[in-house]
Amino acid sequence: MQNPLVIGILNGDDIGHEIVPAAVEVTRAAAAKTGLLIDWRPMPIGRTALEAQGSTFPDGTLEAVSGMDGFILGPIGHQAYPKVPGAINPHPILRKRLNLFANIRPTRSYPGLGAIHDDIDLVIVRENNEGFQPDRNVVAGSGEFRPTDDVTISVRVITRLGSARVARVALEIARQRRKRLTLVHKDTVFKLGCGMFVEECRRVAREFPDVAVDEVIVDTMAMRLVRDPQTFDVVVTTNMFGDILTDEAAGLVGGLGMAPGLCIGDGSLAMAQATHGSAPDIAGKGIANPYAMIESTRMMIEWLGHNRGVEQAVKAAALMEGAITAALADPATRTRDIKGSGNTRDMTRGIVAAIEAA
Ligand code: ATP
């Protein structure tokens, strides 16, 4: 008998309380259908944890999730946290302490959603722990500082190790897809930083002769994503470029509700995390698009299936994929941001019904 996959449920804030339960409900339905055993472990995080335990990231949460196979992290609304000692942003701590260095963000079209393009299927792999992000590119303190009132310095960290390992993740994904990888950088200006990133990517790519590699400068990439996104398969880039390009790509297929993501590192665990934030403007209304969270969770289940050799998980992920596509094809089972007439519940129920009917 299969050992249960241990998966944490961390709702996060605002719409996290609506879309994370939706992702769990869909996964439970697929698991029941395929015989996949999951030991679900709800964990405290965010504003509810602050109210109950005095911290948005209570002691023990990090240790607990680090021993799991994976976890769902709902969006964190840290910008609205009160200025009290227990209110901290858990994101950088999770990504850094769990060494989740690769952020895999697919952009996929589902026809009929009124999106700018109807035929996109690409994956942006974003380096997750270095670059310009000041909250995670140093061990202590911040990668941004102000030596005088009139001067601010933002540090960008690029390492050979960080660049090589994210390149390897991207190349492995490309190998399973259309075997094309685009390196996005700006070594024309950032000769040392982007220079090192691209040097390492090229070096690792030599181990993947079956993957065709090309390079695009980031500003050209921003334009080409709008004009001819169909020409891309897998893209790998540094942290901030990836952050910006993935939101741009989401805009091409229906908006932030359509932007899933999976964070992985050395293979020990995976974190399902949608690209979007906690959307406080629509929280509590029951209208949030659960796609990004459900698809992020599906990606995690698929990854665990391959990584842990659990056949039922691979089957459950395939079942979820078909059911998501079926629900998205019907306006009654998709949300209004993607030209539907339904709400979060309708879409979740639609996906569950498609799983049960499969
Ligand atoms: P962060 O900085 O934390 O990533 P943000 O400032 O980018 O957050 P979001 O919370 O992602 O902001 O929201 C941006 C806009 O997208 C808001 O109008 C929000 O309602 C919308 N949005 C985000 N996620 C969803 C979703 N799942 N369904 C529908 N609309 C969404």
Count of CB atoms situated within 10 Å of the CB of 283: 18
Output the average pLDDT for the chain.
96
Residue to mutate (ligand 1; options 256, 289, 337; most atoms within 8 A of CB) = 256
> In the 8-state DSSP scheme, what is residue 250?
H
- Percent of the chain past pLDDT 70, that is, above it, reads 100
Q: Measured from the CB, is residue 289 less than 6 Å from ligand 1?
A: yes
Closest C-alpha to ligand 1, atom 26: 257
Q: Measured from the CB, is residue 6 less than 6 Å from ligand 1?
A: no
Q: Measured from the CB, is residue 278 less than 6 Å from ligand 1?
A: yes
**Model pTM above 0.85:** yes
For residue 161, is pLDDT > 90? yes
Tell me which of 3.40.190.10, 3.40.718.10, 3.40.50.1000, 1.50.10.20 is the CATH number of domain 1-100+267-358: 3.40.718.10
Of 140-144, 195-199, 203-207, 325-329, the one with minimum mean pLDDT is 140-144
8 Å CB contact between 57 and 49? yes
Give 65-123 pLDDT, tens digit per residue.
Answer: 999 999 999 999 999 999 999 999 998 889 889 999 999 999 999 999 989 989 999 99
Tokens representing 167 are 């390149």
Q: Measured from the CB, is residue 350 less than 6 Å from ligand 1?
A: no
Distance (angstroms) between ligand 1 centre and the Cα of 35 equals 35
| Model pLDDT, residue 317 | 98
CA within 13 Å, CB half, 79 = 5
Count of CB atoms situated within 10 Å of the CB of 77: 21
| Model pLDDT, residue 159 | 97
Rounded Cα distance, 169 and 98, in Å? 16
| Model pLDDT, residue 265 | 96
Rounded Cα distance, 128 and 263, in Å? 8
Of 40-49, 133-142, 228-237, the one with minimum mean pLDDT is 133-142
Question: What are the structural domain ranges in the chain?
Answer: 1-100+267-358
Residues in the chain, total:
358
What is the per-residue DSSP string for 198-219? HHHHHHHHTT-TTSEEEEEEHH
Distance (angstroms) between ligand 1 centre and the Cα of 351 equals 22
Helix axes 291-307, 16-34, angle to 10 degrees: 40
Distance (angstroms) between ligand 1 centre and the Cα of 325 equals 22
| Model pLDDT, residue 20 | 98
- Percent of the chain past pLDDT 90, that is, above it, reads 92
| Model pLDDT, residue 141 | 85
User: Does residue 228 sit in helix, strand or coil?
Assistant: coil
Closest C-alpha to ligand 1, atom 14: 279
Rounded Cα distance, 338 and 118, in Å? 12
8 Å CB contact between 73 and 292? no
Distance (angstroms) between ligand 1 centre and the Cα of 310 equals 34
Rounded Cα distance, 298 and 317, in Å? 5
* Backbone phi, psi, residue 235, to 5°: -125, 135
Closest C-alpha to ligand 1, atom 31: 257
For residue 212, is pLDDT > 90? yes
pLDDT bracket for residue 291 (50, 70, 90) = very high
60: exposed, middle or buried (Cβ count in 10 Å: 0-12, 13-18, 19+)? exposed
Distance (angstroms) between ligand 1 centre and the Cα of 240 equals 18
Of 18, 23, 24, 21, nearest to 39 by C-alpha is: 24
Closest C-alpha to ligand 1, atom 6: 277
**Sign of torsion over alpha carbons 210, 188, 138, 263:** negative
For residue 172, is pLDDT > 90? yes
